[in-house]
């Protein structure tokens, strides 16, 4: 068995990305779609930090991972506010039923 290197981490992040994409495509509930987005952001972060460790770029990768975490927090707050508003107006959060612009 080969010892753990860059490829192992990239495979982990690829699989995590695929599962996030699957969640975004197949789930109806908007909160589940958000969870898929979080999975994808995490996989991107693993990539950033893995390349920062195994490449020759200093610590910029870790810093960009921190920025991604901050943006994910902002995105989650705004998205949940929008989801709450949708629920108040249409009393559903299934993304396939929310298809009218104005009633």
Partner 1 sequence: MNIYDLIFYLFALLTLVSAFFVVTNKNIVHSAFYLLFTFFGVAGIYVLLGADFVAIVQLIVYVGGILILLLFGVMLTNKITNVEIKTGTINIFSATIGVGLFSGALLAAVLYAPWKESSLQEAVPTTGILGNLLMNEYVLVFELLGIILLIALIGAASIARR
Kindly state the smallest distance separating residue 59's Cβ from partner 1, in Å. Answer: 5
Q: How far is the CB of 100 from partner 1 (least distance, A)?
A: 18
State how far the Cα of 11 lies from the Cα of 17, in Å rounded to an integer. 10
CB of 62 to partner 1, least distance (A): 5
Q: Which two tokens stand for residue 16?
A: 């995590």
Give yes or no for residue 44 binding partner 1 (CB under 8 A). Answer: no
Q: Which residues of 13-50 are buried (b: 16+ CB within 10 A; e: fewer)?
A: beebbeebeebbeebeebeebbebbebbbbbbbbbbbb
Interface with partner 1, residue 99, by CB under 8 A? no
Residue of 96, 99, 102, 103 interacting with partner 1 (CB under 8 A): 96
For the bound state, the minimum distance from the C-beta of residue 101 to partner 1, rounded and expressed in Å, comes to 17
Compute the distance between CA of residue 48 and CA of residue 63 in angstroms, rounded to an integer.
9
Question: Which residues in 14-33 contact partner 1 (CB under 8 A)?
Answer: 14-23, 25-32
Our CB check for partner 1 shows the closer of 3 and 100 to be: 3
Cα 46 to its chain centre, rounded Å, is: 12
């Amino acid at each position: 068995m080969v010892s753990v290197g860059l490829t192992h981490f990239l495979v982990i992040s690829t699989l995590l990305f695929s599962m996030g994409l699957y969640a975004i495509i197949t789930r109806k509930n908007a909160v589940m779609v958000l969870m898929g987005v979080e999975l994808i952001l995490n996989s991107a972060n693993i990539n950033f930090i893995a390349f920062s460790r195994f490449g020759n770029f200093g610590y910029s990768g870790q810093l960009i991972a921190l920025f991604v975490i901050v943006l994910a927090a902002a995105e989650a707050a705004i998205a949940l506010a929008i989801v709450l508003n949708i629920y108040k107006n249409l009393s559903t959060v299934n993304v396939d039923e929310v298809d009218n612009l104005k009633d």
